[in-house]
Amino acid sequence: MKSEFVHDVVVVGGGAAGVGVSVALQHAGIENFVVLERHHVGASFAGWPAETRFITPSFPTNSFGMLDLNSVAIGVSPGFSLGIEHPTGQEFADHLRQVAELFRVPVREQVDVIRVTPEDDCFLIDTSEATFTARHVVWAAGEFQYPRLMGFAGSELCRHTSTIASYDDLEGDDFIVIGGYESGVDAAYHLAYHDKRVRLFDSGAPWEDMSSDPSIALSPFTLERMREDWFLELVELYPHTPITSVTCAGDGYEVAAWDGALFQTDVPPLWAGGFEGSHMLVANLFELRNDGFPVLSDNDESTLAPGLFLCGPSVRHDNHVFCFIYKYRQRFAVVAKAIATSLELSAEGLETYRSWGMYLDDLSYCGEACVC
């Protein structure tokens, strides 16, 4: 396998995190970098179920200096360019491609990263195309393409919601959905819209949670949809009902709850179990927290492999969860400045980020800013 020349930075992933941090790298004065994307820019968003929309609303930048919640870079707004408040995944993927083209982000598509190996003062990035050498690596491969498939006995008999192209295409009229957070309610909403009966199970009751943090409670967009007539008529909620197993039963499936209750359905249950996250592919290069997420320095850098940075929804600091675009984008300039400093660049172009609330020096303040 041939070896590529040395880059200052290799960014892994061409989604919201990869494109966003790449623009920040440019603003920091870094030119010698490349983005490796195993499919195409925005592929994870394009892979959403056709009906699924952003729960965070998009809106054009306003006079108060606030970015569109779903923007990944200063000066761009999916709310403005798309004219849509809650884009679909495909629409947002189109927006990301436009951003990458606007900023001339150096993306190489159809390049699958196989492994990242620290070597002396650089990294070897083995891919399906070549071996790249870089002084720094930014891991921004996201999570949607890495669903959590195991959660209980028989979960392999279920369909993970991330594998569904369209809820309109699903045959049957009696569905069981396991998992009542955003993805589970989204599935129930669209199935009910198509006159399907749905039983929705969750180990808690996120629709009743009074927290204002959307990492814990359901978004207002979702709660509003749960009040639609067809949802109230066709969706039956089972809060505080963990599922322990799914088994085949004749021509259908039997779902067992923790209290011994049994439920039958003729179609595979839908499993809204969340995502493992791509960070697990490079877990050996990070210390891991008790919750399985990487331990990061104040600059979102690995404590085991200096020069390796993490961007995207897997970023955690203490109890701060950066799981939405408007949260984790605040870390782009932090990473870009750390890399620019390592390369002895001034990173003056990042000063604009400070006025937009996207670059903060103090981690504790940034954490407070990023948690609703």
pLDDT in tens, 264-296: 999 999 999 999 889 999 999 999 999 889 999
Give 57-85 pLDDT, tens digit per residue.
998 866 556 789 999 998 899 999 999 99
Mean pLDDT of 240-259: 95
User: In 212-267, which ranges are E strands?
Assistant: 235-238, 243-249, 252-257, 262-265
Residues 42/94, Cβ–Cβ less than 8 Å: yes
Radius of gyration of the chain (CA): 21
- Tokens at 140, concatenated: 């921004």
Look at phi and psi of residue 282 and say left if phi exceeds 0, alpha if psi is from -120 to 50, else beta: alpha
Is the pLDDT score of 210 beyond 90?
Answer: no
Rounded to whole angstroms, the Cα distance separating 216 from 210 reads 9
Q: What's phi and psi for 280, nearest 5 deg? A: -65, -20
Residue 191 pLDDT grade (very low, low, confident, very high; cuts 50, 70, 90): very high
Residues 69/325, Cβ–Cβ less than 8 Å: yes
Is the pLDDT score of 223 beyond 60?
Answer: yes
Q: Which long-range contacts (CB under 8 A, 24 or more apart) does 279-283 make?
A: 279/139, 279/141, 279/310, 279/314, 280/146, 281/141, 281/146, 282/116, 282/139, 282/308
Is the pLDDT score of 369 beyond 50?
Answer: no
At residue 315, the 3 state secondary structure works out as coil
Residues 322/313, Cβ–Cβ less than 8 Å: yes
Query: What single-letter DSSP state applies at residue 80?
Result: H
pLDDT of 97 = 97
Is the pLDDT score of 304 beyond 70?
Answer: yes
Please, is 62 exposed, middle or buried when counting C-beta atoms within 10 Å of its C-beta (0-12, 13-18, 19+)?
exposed
Question: In order of start, what are the domains of the chain with their CATH numbers?
Answer: 3-145+275-370 (3.50.50.60), 155-271 (3.50.50.60)
Please state the separation of Cα 114 from the chain's center in Å. 20
Residues 6+ apart with CB under 8 A from 76: 68, 95, 98, 99, 102
Letter for the amino acid at 208?
E
Q: What is the value of pTM for the model shown?
A: 0.91
Give 28-50 pLDDT, tens digit per residue.
999 999 999 999 999 999 999 99
Residues 222/182, Cβ–Cβ less than 8 Å: yes
Rounded to whole angstroms, the Cα distance separating 120 from 7 reads 15
pLDDT of 371 = 35
For residue 75, give Cα distances in angstroms to 105, 292, 328. 15, 35, 17
Is the pLDDT score of 367 beyond 80?
Answer: no
